[in-house]
Amino acid sequence: MPRFAILEHTDAPDDPAGRHYDLLLEAGDVCRTWRLAELPAPGGPPVTAVELPPHRLAWLDHVAGEVSGGRGYARRITAGEYAVTASDAANVMAATRLSIVITEAVDSTRVVLTYDATNWIATRE
């Protein structure tokens, strides 16, 4: 099964809030990645997700440390595996609607990522 990770990223120079979360989904030899201002709460309101350029797979194993180039500090919040339960494309990299189940050590939850022609939205069930 492909892997996922959620990293808390602080002190990034391009982040006016000073903190955001990166959701990374393993997709072949890269990670499809989104920036979330907050983590979606189960059953809570949608959270805007900004798609970022693909990240290196090494970020899936990252625990904590400085981001190169003076781009802040990142630490892992959680990681595990994910399974696509619904998608509008055969390839995770091409999808504009993804429903995934992320499985951590002892828990799993459904996350839905949807692109509405202007924004990505993340929800958690």
> Are β-strands 30-36 and 47-55 bridged in parallel, bridged antiparallel, or unpaired?
antiparallel
Local confidence band at 117 (pLDDT 50, 70, 90 cut-offs): confident
- Look at the pTM and tell me if it is higher than 0.75: yes
- pLDDT per residue as tens digits for the range 61-110: 999 989 988 889 999 999 999 999 999 999 999 999 999 999 987 778 89
pLDDT recorded at residue 13: 86
- pLDDT per residue as tens digits for the range 53-73: 999 999 999 999 899 888 899
Query: Which residue from 117, 114, 110, 107 is spatially nearest to 47, judged by alpha carbons?
Result: 114
Query: Which residue from 119, 72, 80, 70 is spatially nearest to 100, judged by alpha carbons?
Result: 80
Query: What CA–CA distance (Å, rounded) separates 85 from 111?
Result: 10
* CB 36 within 8 Å of CB 19: no
